[in-house]
């Protein structure tokens, strides 16, 4: 597949607006909040002490905001019963057309509100953009950005995450049309 065709194919996926949806296996809960705080070294009492959280105006302890995405993480290797999502298809288009390597570039999160025990999150991820071919120190490649919107059990948004990756061909790898 030529370079223009590759970008056009992914752009068509973007234009179609397809999403990958996941519902968290478990609701937000105190034990997991405590584990996350331990892993992150987070000591803020609003995450650990219900009285401190209530004194700060929260109904209960709240989850650390930086852990927004963990509630909807899937088990590596588990296949989606619905088949590949548009996000998977975009990644596969790059992977199987000369750009088999991937590196995370950056992640930007925005928070609408704190998560509290009992929240059950749904994540809807879509491909937001694909770059033209870029020359990087890792090799030629494309930057692809996804946007995930997180909602609670009522359908109210609680946050978003933009995730940018670089799919590239390392030196000596076939990288498609030049």
* Domain edges within the chain: 3-27+67-168, 29-62
CA distance linking residue 127 with residue 162, whole number of Å: 10
User: Helical H runs in the chain?
Assistant: 3-16, 30-40, 45-48, 50-55, 86-95
CA distance linking residue 7 with residue 2, whole number of Å: 9
Q: What pLDDT is attached to residue 1?
A: 82
CA distance linking residue 99 with residue 112, whole number of Å: 35
Q: What pLDDT is attached to residue 178?
A: 44
pLDDT truncated to tens, each residue of the chain (178 aa)?
888 899 999 999 999 999 999 999 999 999 999 999 999 999 999 999 999 999 999 999 999 998 899 999 877 666 666 668 899 999 999 999 999 999 999 999 999 999 999 999 999 999 999 999 999 999 999 999 999 999 999 999 999 999 999 999 987 665 554 4
Q: What pLDDT is attached to residue 39?
A: 93
CA distance linking residue 49 with residue 58, whole number of Å: 11
Q: What pLDDT is attached to residue 85?
A: 87
Q: Which residues contact 148 (CB under 8 A, 6 or more apart)?
A: 69, 123, 124, 125, 126, 160, 161, 162, 163
Beta carbons of 46 and 33 less than 8 angstroms apart: no
Domain 3-27+67-168: homologous superfamily in CATH: Hotdog Thioesterase (3.10.129.10)
Q: What pLDDT is attached to residue 122?
A: 96
């Amino acid at each position: 597949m030529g370079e223009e065709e590759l970008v056009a194919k992914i752009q068509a996926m973007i234009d179609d607006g397809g999403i990958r949806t996941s519902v968290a296996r478990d609701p937000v809960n105190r034990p997991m909040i405590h584990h996350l705080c331990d892993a992150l070294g987070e000591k803020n009492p609003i995450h650990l002490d219900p009285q401190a959280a209530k004194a700060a105006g929260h109904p209960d302890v709240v989850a650390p905001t930086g852990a927004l995405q963990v509630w909807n993480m899937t088990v590596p290797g588990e296949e989606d019963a619905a088949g590949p999502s548009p996000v998977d298809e975009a990644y596969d288009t790059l992977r199987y057309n000369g750009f088999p390597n991937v590196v995370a570039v950056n992640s930007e999160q925005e928070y609408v509100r704190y998560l509290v025990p009992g929240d059950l999150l749904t994540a809807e991820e879509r491909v937001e953009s694909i770059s033209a071919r870029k020359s990087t120190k890792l090799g030629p490649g494309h930057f692809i950005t996804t946007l995930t919107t997180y909602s609670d059990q009522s359908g109210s948004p609680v946050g978003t995450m933009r995730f940018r990756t670089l799919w590239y061909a390392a030196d000596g790898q076939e990288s498609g049309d030049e």
